Amino acid sequence: MWPNSSSSSFLLTGFPGLEAVHHWISTPFFFIYLSILLGNSILLLLIKEDHNLHEPMYYFLAMLAATDLGLTLTTMPTVLGVLWLDHREIGKVACFSQAYFIHSLAFVESGVLLAMAYDRFIAICNPLRYSSILTNNQVLKIGLGVLMRGFISVVPPILPLYFFPYCHSHILSHAFCLHQDVIKLACADTTFNRLYPVVLVVLIFVLDSLIILISYVLILKRVLSIASKEERAKTLNTCVSHICCVLVFYVTVIGLSLIHRFGKQVPHIVHLTMSYIYFIFPPLMNPIIYSVKTKQIQIGIFRLFTTHRIKV
């Protein structure tokens, strides 16, 4: 416990009560992180090298993979540092910066999923104008808009953290820094920091998910108007991968939110587990989903590795 505000560091926390087996817990975490890095890197390399995948749908997929990589690289060093090396201390500046990137990239991921829903909506509901609407220039504008929304919207609640005095324990409840975790340790008026994130979550997570839902209602309406059953199945199949990624992301977001809001009596280990699932599960599953469900990705991966083998 560090009760004075003069300290320039916080203490991260792994799994309380399981410190003796942290080195064992770190092993699956290491392999999961390795799988995330490998899977998303292969997707990025594939989309870059395979000219058949130089389409808006796959550009947005590349943005999703890059976001997942960024989120993983942001949390991985401190998580493995705590579990593997018992390195719990983190400087305040590093902590606030980590919190900024964690929350920004989460909002960026929501925006990318929304952009991917827009891509599917145009492709199915207005296919004749698809190439003229989603030009490379338009995709670039959408991508920049998603990035700016994510990184700028998080500045107002994160910036005050650098100036608040911290006179409580300085012990955080996770192996990474979160805004809601840090703000509990501040000895100042944190009304804005408690209310602004709620508004932000509603305007981004809730609104994005509603727009995605509405887009798929319109897509389904359009698909049902197609006479041929084979054409219906073929059209819907182009959406399956995105729907799975949306479900993986928003189900984990909703699960974590419900645990934090209504799980006061739930053991702390459940809160921790849900937090790790939120940060690990979507980046792990997204490359797997697209590799399994998208034929073009499967062909591209096969071509990428066979070409590399021939060159070797």
Q: In which band, very low, low, confident or very high, does the pLDDT at 6 lie, cut at 50, 70 and 90? A: very low
Distance CA(120)–CA(110), nearest Å, equals: 16
pLDDT at 1: 39
CATH assignment at residue 65: 1.20.1070.10
Distance CA(200)–CA(206), nearest Å, equals: 9
2 falls within a domain: no
The model carries a pTM of 0.93
pLDDT at 56: 95
8 falls within a domain: no
Tokens standing for residue 11: 């203490």
Transcribe 215-274 into DSSP letters: HHHHHHHHHHT-S-HHHHHHHHHHHHHHHHHHHHHHHHHHHHHHHHHH-TTS-HHHHHHH
Q: In which band, very low, low, confident or very high, does the pLDDT at 2 lie, cut at 50, 70 and 90? A: very low
Distance CA(308)–CA(303), nearest Å, equals: 8
307 falls within a domain: yes
276 falls within a domain: yes
Number of domains in the chain: 1
Alpha helices (H) along 86-190: 92-125, 130-133, 136-153, 155-158, 179-182
Distance CA(206)–CA(186), nearest Å, equals: 28
Cα torsion angle, 193, 11, 262, 265, sign: negative
pLDDT tens digit sequence for 219-277:
999 988 886 888 888 888 889 999 999 999 999 998 888 887 776 777 888 889 899 99
Tokens standing for residue 240: 């399956």
pLDDT at 7: 63
Q: In which band, very low, low, confident or very high, does the pLDDT at 167 lie, cut at 50, 70 and 90? A: confident
pLDDT at 4: 42
Average pLDDT over residues 98-111: 97
For residues 64 and 95, the answer to whether their CB atoms sit within 8 Å is: no
pLDDT at 309: 54
User: Which domain range does residue 176 map to?
Assistant: 14-311
